Structure 1
Amino acid sequence: TAEDFDELMKFYADDASLVVKPGLTVSGKESIRRAFVAIADHFNNSIVVTQGEIQVIQGGDVALVIMETLLQATDKDGVKTEISRRATYVFRQISEKWLCVVDNSYGTSLLDSVVGS
């Protein structure tokens, strides 16, 4: 699965936000694109994402998506990483297309960093 960040950005609303890591959120498609490029670079362009269970809860033109994801990657130092997360996403229907407005791959574990502060 080739990295095509321009194609990926078609799935995001112009005013979307991405949780890059706990404590760091970026907003806007260009900032999100730059974050994805930096993340891919950090992991030596080796990230593989596997989708597990998924639940979608829709209310009007908004949908909450809760998804189990498995991330596998190798960083530039050759360190292999395998992370399982329960991600949360919010999508909004805009011009008959569902676009991501909140991308939070950390899900509720974001609360752990707040509690530990």
Structure 2
Amino acid sequence: MAYQPLKQMIEAADKAITEEDFDSLMAFYADDATLVIKPGLIATGKEQIHKAFFAIAEHFNHSLVVKQGAMHVIHGGNTALVIMETVLETVDAAGVASRMSRRATYVFREDPAGKWLCVIDNSYGTELLGTM
């Protein structure tokens, strides 16, 4: 499987997050998707995920810019695991800019029409293991 379709989808989703276009962002997710908001806190289903992104935007002072780094895709059947570097840039209320990099994991499922949808969005990747 070529990475290009998933890479383009992730880029479009990251653009929607950066632009706070959360209505368009929901097309990226399966109806039963799960988003790791932070360690110990998840949102399941498009309604919860939509609300979570509004809270995330507020938390980051409406300054969140999401970018991609290196990506690796492992594909099996109608499922793909994407392991990639996700770069988050923010500016706090005092105007201080910061940049963080995460090794994110995403799980995609291909629907019967051939469209890939995100079913698990975990920008924390294996970092979650350190929170147990």
TM-score by length of 2: 0.82
The whole-number CA distance in structure 2 between the counterparts of 1:77 and 1:91 is 37
Distance 1:65 1:31, change over 3 A: same
The whole-number CA distance in structure 2 between the counterparts of 1:39 and 1:3 is 10
Are residue 49 (structure 1) and residue 72 (structure 2) matched?
A: no
Name the Cα RMSD after superposition: 1.2
Question: Greater share of strand residues, 1 or 2?
Answer: 1
In the alignment, what sits opposite 2:127?
Answer: 109
Shift of 1:77: 4.4
Deviating beyond 2 angstroms after TM superposition, the runs of 4 or more aligned structure 1 residues are 75-81
Shift of 1:3: 1.9
In the alignment, what sits opposite 1:81?
Answer: 98
Are residue 68 (structure 1) and residue 71 (structure 2) matched?
A: no
Identify unmatched segments of 5+ residues in structure 2.
1-14
TM-score by length of 1: 0.92
Identify unmatched segments of 5+ residues in structure 1.
none
Partner of 1:111, secondary structure, is helix
Q: Structure 1 counterpart of 2:115, which letter? A: K
**1:33-75 deviations in Å (ceiling 9; x for gaps):** 1101110111121111111000011101000000101101123
Are residue 98 (structure 1) and residue 116 (structure 2) matched?
A: yes
